[in-house]
Each structure stands twice: as C-alpha cells, then as structure tokens.
Amino acid sequence: MHTIEQGDHVIADVGDQVLCLGTTSCALVMAFAGNGRIACYHWPFMSDTGDCRETFRWLVDQLDSPVTHIEVISNDFPDAHRAQDCKATVTNLAAANPGAITTYYVHPGQIQGIDPFVTLGSHGAQSFHAVQVVPL
C-alpha cells in the first residue's frame, strides 16, 4: 500500500492500494496510462498553481505511456467559492490532457474526515467511499 500526504506523489500499478491522507481541501488525482501504471498525486488545496501543474505533468511524463483517463477524488468544500475553484482546476487539468477522459468525484457533504483510500484498476479507481460525479 502507498500512503501519500500533501504534495506527495507515487507511481503505482494496477492492483496497488493508495491512501491519500489529509484531503480536507486537497484531492487525490490519478492519471491512468495504457501500460497499467498510474500516477497518483495529493494535489494541495486543489489550487491551480504552476507548481502543482508542473509537478503533475512531470509525474505523468514518468508513466512512459499515453494517459487514457484521469480521476480526481476530493471532499466537499465549505463554500461555493472553494468548490468553484476546485472545479476550475479539474476543468483546466482536463483541457491540458485532451486525449484523456477526466472524471471528478466528490464526497458530498463531507468537508473533512474522509481520506481517499482506493484500489487501482486498469479502468479507474475501485473500492472507494460513496461519491458523486461532478459534471465538468
């Protein structure tokens, strides 16, 4: 099992488990490549900063295979402004990876307390808490 905290990342494989600790305003962002490798990033505060985008791009480049899809799992946000900022970050992430399908999941009503714990499958994260899909 891989455990990542704010700003941490790992390259995982299908079947691995990932625990993303401390996701109150952050998210677990996963890029799935065609070769079965998955880039997992604990995106700090879901801020659309150059540093976060560059870290994620570098991590994706380590996969050595095109990304087929991206999944983002976050907790809900305490106000509409933060929720909109996060959605904008995910929308920009999708635009920066046009060949990948991007899905954004939120734990509705949960502002803190749920740290995403996922088992990675070839077609996405499996075995995670009840979430709802947020349309981009």
Tell the residue number behind the tokens 């075995």, with chain if given. Answer: 127
Tokens representing 29 are 């962002």
DSSP state of 135: P
pLDDT tens by residue, the chain, 136 residues: 899 999 999 999 998 989 888 777 788 999 999 999 999 999 998 888 899 999 999 999 999 999 999 999 888 877 888 888 888 999 999 999 999 999 998 877 665 666 777 878 777 776 565 566 676 6
pTM, two decimals, is: 0.88
Q: Are 24 and 129 in contact (CB under 8 A)?
A: no
CB hemisphere CA count around 21 (13 angstroms): 6
